[in-house]
Structure 1
Amino acid sequence: MLHAQSSDATATAATPIDAPSAAQTGQPTKPTKLKTAAATVRLAAADAPLQQASTDRPSVQQGIPSTDQLGVSHIGDATPSPAPGPRQGLLAGIGQKLNDWGFTPSLNLVQMYLANPSVGQQTGNHEALTFIAVGGDFDMEKIAGFPGATIHFQQLFVPFTNNLAWGTQVGDVLAGQPGPYVPQVSHLGIFTWEQKAFHDKLDVEFGKTNAGAYFGAPVCNQGFGCQSAILQNSAGMNPPVYVNWGGRARYNITPAWSVQAGLFRSNPAYPFTNGWEWTDSVPDSNVWLASTAYRTTYQSDPYPKSYELMLYYNTRTQTDPFTQDTHKGTSGIYFGGRQVVWRPDGGQAGAPDPTAVSLFATATGSFDAHSSYGLAMTGSAGVIVEAPLRSRPHDSFSISLNWATLTPHEQEYLKQENLAAGGSGYTVGRTQYGLKIDANIALTRSIILSPYVMRTWNTSTFGNPAYSATPKNGIVAGIVASVFFDKMLGLTDR
């Protein structure tokens, strides 16, 4: 599932400003902190109508996890992998011939529904989106005799959207964060050349892609809902719908240990791009990433584990949200870990998809107390129950605690904006908390439902600072339905 959200919502009270047009002026929108494609969403009170323009202050959602993590079900993730099984379907024969020739097609649909009964600034709203992904992998060794080479291609279509303003209506860091903002109906999802060498120890890839496909892999039960806003905002890892020129190189020191480095462009006008642009319409920045990871699977470890440590540096000029002082570049750190800690079978070797309990935790911190987006730290921690019923080996359930802490200057900025909007004073603390329950439910080998519900406390106005009232604590919920037509039709056995 590919996700993106921007505060550039559609409302009845004003007409949005086109982000690239605003960004091309090169002028910050002072005195507010919404700097390039600037906008303000103002709600005079909890039930006041939205007044808005566009903004470069998106709250975005990373969502493409690593394809080789724990050897357990990740079907609720952004690029889920259903459990392997015998090839079935009406087109199984054609699929086998295509695979033998060197082409593995992909054809998937994802339907999202998000609801906000009681959180944030405008409650009682919902959002719905439909994503269709078409593409495939070309094995260039089979096709043209290039050993270890693969071309990856995917085009994403978004034929239906409803209420893209949902994330802004919630207006916080945690609950509104999954709200996708996808104004374009068609996007290049990936177009890269991947080259492996030295018995697959070295893996190099370059082209049009997204940094989140390779760095900061989700370790929670649903990759859709546990990514750090710091990685998307401060680090500049644009949402997976949006691709940039980039490349990365990974070296597998051992089957478990690996190191990786990457360089990607980051386009601040991404909500209005389709991925096929040769150059960027507005000035952008470079994102430097370096990570080390340790991952095992059930094939080699009865208690699989996944750990990743990553550093980032973005070259974009930063503007302090409160003082408006500027400085060059921003950096930070990410850590994510997940490990199976208990199995009722005692860790029986070779057991496929065993019932197991995993613990996971993530933490992302900014080294820059004066970064443009004003996020100091985000994190999550929780428990996952995998295959709770032996008759349903690919289901999973999870409960987690999530939090996000603002920088002191971001907090002062929110207080300032509250008063400017006519409020009586901003009394919300710097750290917001959310308790979340989610699940992945395999209806069939090709249809997965991923529902979630979250209760928030200390809900902030990070996503819409110009709000005069106090945002509400409460509940948000959603469901993601993933349909793998390629698997259903027999075009692939993965």
Structure 2
Amino acid sequence: MSSKGCEFFQRRQPASLPLSAIFSAAMLASGAAMAQPVPDASAVTGSASLVDRATAGSVALPDPQSVSGSELHAASPQPEGPALTVAQESGPAKLVSTDRPAVQQGIPSTDQLGVSHIGDAAAEAAESTRHGPLSSVGQMLNNWGFTPTLNLVQMYLANPSVGQQTGNHEALTFIAVGGDFDMQKIAGFPGATIHFQQLFVPSTVNLGWGQQVGDVLANVGPYVPKVSHLALFTWEQKAFHDKLDFEFGKTNSGLYFAAPVCNQGFGCQSLILQHNAGMNPPIYVNWGGRVRYNLTPALSVQAGMWRSNPAFPFTNGWEWTDSVPDSNVYLANVVYRTTYQTDPWPKSYELMFYYNTSTQTDPFTLGTHKGTSGIYFGGRQVVYRADGGKAGVSDPTAVSLFATATGSFDSHSSTGLEMTGSAGVIVEAPLRSRPHDSISLSFNWATLTPHEQAFLQNQNIEAGGTGYTVGRTQYGVKLDANIALTRSILLSPYVMRTWNTNTWGNPSYAGTPKNGVTVGVLAIVFFDRMLGLTDH
């Protein structure tokens, strides 16, 4: 992975999420989808829906399957316990999505906060001594102009006491293969780089886990019915001493916008951005491009446009055109970010606006309107250092505060999400003998729109319930950590307790979901670094 990218897919910061130099860059970019080696879209635990919930109403599904919500439910194996059914309405079926993938970006160090090697105004971290049996091969490839990527992410998620069907778990395996081609070294094109990454999902267990939990905060279980995905294929061009940086091709907008500022990226990634804004989950790529200008090494402005495919779970990224009607996503942000290289008290602040052209369907009235928009803010600031702010220290014991807030300007959006947010504290290098570890405690919340709340109340009654009594805002307290087991292996466990757990992820539930605990752990192995293929 790249030395500066926060990405699992290594390379740029992702939403492409690899952990770049394991401690200099982040952790994984794939919060999104795991694929199971079954081409049949209906082969998913529970009644998983084919299209994101944002596409309420009648939706044309990708070939060769054009299935209605009820047909899909009938064809799907049902888990034990209360049935999880696809929500129905008078008229076209409203598909309830099991796919609530989230970006997984771990950011172990404030110095690498949200920093990707793409578009950086500051120089990349210095090369370190190569270690591994393929060090000589890695050096040869790098001299030629190719920096390979080879990483593995193992994810385990469980809901021992929270949600609609407790006591279940999900396990996913991601393998990212690819690399960056320095076109100046290879072909003499100054400032040009080709980025490529292919993601494989060789093993999945219980892709319906997200629907079994069925809420907004605890439900981070990916759903992906494809085992192989193009995760990145772009041409990046820098100019004017790297102040101007633009990129286009097949990519994911989350790699460049709304960089997570929490300790584990998937812990503060807003579903409003993935569903309202149409910033499809990390492993799903669309045609798009962006341009960024660094006004100073710390201050930059950026704008971009992507296509957004509502049937993203059933794409592999190599499609030339989309099989269902899609929309355009327009993004613009301003970012101020510093590192320990230039600032003893590093900080990162981002303000972003989004607009998506897709037609929105009010979940309660079924009224429609064109387009939806909203805002995102994320900030992180070092407020304490054990050394008092000594210059030249890149990994001090430090305390950072962070907060994010994402709001929709559309009270009648299809998803019914009004606002999400998080706030917390991160302790970096709590032990001086382990400078790359970190631990964090955060408070999280998500608020639904009034019409979404009314929709959930109606769905509960129609499913045979006695009344939906959960409030519009769900809360959660989360404890997580990043633990560097070796130079090439990172472990990221977490535990979250939720209150006011809702049924947003599976409205057709007759009971009241349980408040409780969800746990998970991600293990990231940087084989490229372990083998000596990369020196960052």
Same structural fold, with TM-score higher than 0.5 when normalized by the shorter chain? yes
Q: Does 1:258 align with 2:289?
A: no
Shift in alpha-carbon separation, 1:74–1:444, aligned structure 2, 3 A: farther
> What are the equivalent positions in structure 2 for 1:277-292 lying under 5 Å apart?
277-292=319-334
Q: Does 1:418 align with 2:452?
A: no
**1:18 and 1:384 mapped to 2: Cα distance?**
38
**1:251 and 1:41 mapped to 2: Cα distance?**
48
Shift in alpha-carbon separation, 1:271–1:28, aligned structure 2, 3 A: closer
> Which position in structure 2 is the counterpart of 1:384?
426
> What are the equivalent positions in structure 2 for 1:321-340 lying under 5 Å apart?
321-340=363-382
Q: Is the 8 A contact 2:101 2:223 kept in 1?
A: no
Deviation at 1:38, TM superposition (A): 4.4
- Say which SS state the counterpart of residue 132 (structure 2) adopts: coil
Deviation at 1:398, TM superposition (A): 0.2
- Aligned equivalent of 2:204, options 161, 168, 172: 161
- Aligned equivalent of 2:213, options 144, 152, 170: 170
Deviation at 1:224, TM superposition (A): 2.2
Deviation at 1:18, TM superposition (A): 5.4
- Aligned equivalent of 1:240, options 282, 289, 299: 282
Q: Is the 8 A contact 1:359 1:382 kept in 2?
A: yes
- Aligned equivalent of 1:94, options 131, 137, 145: 137
**2:294 and 2:337 mapped to 1: Cα distance?**
11
Shift in alpha-carbon separation, 1:365–1:51, aligned structure 2, 3 A: closer
**2:453 and 2:435 mapped to 1: Cα distance?**
45
**2:447 and 2:460 mapped to 1: Cα distance?**
18
Deviation at 1:86, TM superposition (A): 1.7
> Which position in structure 2 is the counterpart of 1:140?
183
Letter of the structure 1 residue corresponding to residue 148 of structure 2: P
Deviation at 1:165, TM superposition (A): 0.3
**2:280 and 2:68 mapped to 1: Cα distance?**
15
**2:239 and 2:106 mapped to 1: Cα distance?**
20
Q: Does 1:305 align with 2:339?
A: no
Shift in alpha-carbon separation, 1:450–1:239, aligned structure 2, 3 A: same
Q: Does 1:3 align with 2:43?
A: no
Shift in alpha-carbon separation, 1:83–1:202, aligned structure 2, 3 A: closer
Q: Is the 8 A contact 1:83 1:445 kept in 2?
A: no
**1:82 and 1:471 mapped to 2: Cα distance?**
47
> Which position in structure 1 is the counterpart of 2:394?
352
**2:107 and 2:290 mapped to 1: Cα distance?**
16
- Say which SS state the counterpart of residue 111 (structure 2) adopts: coil
Q: Is the 8 A contact 2:304 2:332 kept in 1?
A: yes
- Say which SS state the counterpart of residue 71 (structure 1) adopts: helix
**1:290 and 1:191 mapped to 2: Cα distance?**
22
Deviation at 1:27, TM superposition (A): 2.8
Q: Is the 8 A contact 1:354 1:393 kept in 2?
A: yes
Deviation at 1:49, TM superposition (A): 3.4
- Structure 2 regions of 5+ residues with no counterpart? 1-27, 35-40, 61-66, 88-93, 116-123
Deviation at 1:72, TM superposition (A): 4.4
Deviation at 1:182, TM superposition (A): 1.5
Q: Does 1:27 align with 2:58?
A: yes
Q: Is the 8 A contact 2:183 2:190 kept in 1?
A: yes
**2:296 and 2:106 mapped to 1: Cα distance?**
17
- Aligned equivalent of 2:314, options 250, 256, 272: 272
- Say which SS state the counterpart of residue 466 (structure 2) adopts: coil
Q: TM-score, normalised by structure 2?
A: 0.84
> Which position in structure 2 is the counterpart of 1:127?
170
Letter of the structure 1 residue corresponding to residue 324 of structure 2: V
> Which position in structure 2 is the counterpart of 1:32?
none
> Which position in structure 2 is the counterpart of 1:78?
none
Q: Does 1:49 align with 2:49?
A: no
- Aligned equivalent of 2:507, options 444, 457, 465: 465
> What are the equivalent positions in structure 2 for 1:425-440 lying under 5 Å apart?
425-440=467-482
Q: Is the 8 A contact 1:10 1:164 kept in 2?
A: no
Letter of the structure 2 residue corresponding to residue 150 of structure 1: T
> Which position in structure 2 is the counterpart of 1:111?
154
Shift in alpha-carbon separation, 1:249–1:285, aligned structure 2, 3 A: same
Letter of the structure 2 residue corresponding to residue 57 of structure 1: S
Q: Does 1:60 align with 2:119?
A: no
Deviation at 1:214, TM superposition (A): 0.3
Q: Is the 8 A contact 2:57 2:95 kept in 1?
A: no
> Which position in structure 1 is the counterpart of 2:360?
318
CA displacement, residues 27-85 of structure 1 (integer Å, 9 cap, x when unaligned): 369xxxxxx9747989x99941334599363553442659999414789xxxxx99973
CA displacement, residues 232-289 of structure 1 (integer Å, 9 cap, x when unaligned): 0100000111100000000000000000000000001110100000000101000000
**1:117 and 1:268 mapped to 2: Cα distance?**
31
CA displacement, residues 161-192 of structure 1 (integer Å, 9 cap, x when unaligned): 0000000000000001x101121000001000
Shift in alpha-carbon separation, 1:490–1:381, aligned structure 2, 3 A: same
**2:440 and 2:126 mapped to 1: Cα distance?**
19
Letter of the structure 2 residue corresponding to residue 240 of structure 1: P
Shift in alpha-carbon separation, 1:83–1:332, aligned structure 2, 3 A: farther
Deviation at 1:321, TM superposition (A): 0.4
Q: Is the 8 A contact 2:86 2:96 kept in 1?
A: no
**1:465 and 1:84 mapped to 2: Cα distance?**
51
- Structure 1 regions of 5+ residues with no counterpart? 30-35, 76-80
Letter of the structure 1 residue corresponding to residue 32 of structure 2: A
> Which position in structure 2 is the counterpart of 1:191?
233
Q: Is the 8 A contact 1:62 1:212 kept in 2?
A: no
> Which position in structure 2 is the counterpart of 1:401?
443
Letter of the structure 2 residue corresponding to residue 98 of structure 1: L
Deviation at 1:354, TM superposition (A): 0.5
- Say which SS state the counterpart of residue 95 (structure 2) adopts: coil
Letter of the structure 1 residue corresponding to residue 409 of structure 2: F
Letter of the structure 1 residue corresponding to residue 453 of structure 2: Q
**2:189 and 2:494 mapped to 1: Cα distance?**
44
Quick check: 196-205 or 82-91, which moved more? Answer: 82-91
- Say which SS state the counterpart of residue 359 (structure 2) adopts: strand
- Aligned equivalent of 1:479, options 521, 524, 530: 521
Letter of the structure 2 residue corresponding to residue 120 of structure 1: G
> Which position in structure 1 is the counterpart of 2:9?
none
Q: TM-score, normalised by structure 1?
A: 0.91
**2:175 and 2:362 mapped to 1: Cα distance?**
39
Please tell me the root mean square deviation across aligned C-alpha atoms, in Å: 2.9
- Say which SS state the counterpart of residue 471 (structure 2) adopts: coil
Shift in alpha-carbon separation, 1:47–1:82, aligned structure 2, 3 A: farther
Give the number of aligned pairs: 478
**2:96 and 2:158 mapped to 1: Cα distance?**
24
- Say which SS state the counterpart of residue 294 (structure 1) adopts: strand
Shift in alpha-carbon separation, 1:313–1:17, aligned structure 2, 3 A: closer
**1:13 and 1:252 mapped to 2: Cα distance?**
48
**1:136 and 1:256 mapped to 2: Cα distance?**
27
Q: Is the 8 A contact 2:491 2:522 kept in 1?
A: yes
Q: Is the 8 A contact 1:258 1:292 kept in 2?
A: yes
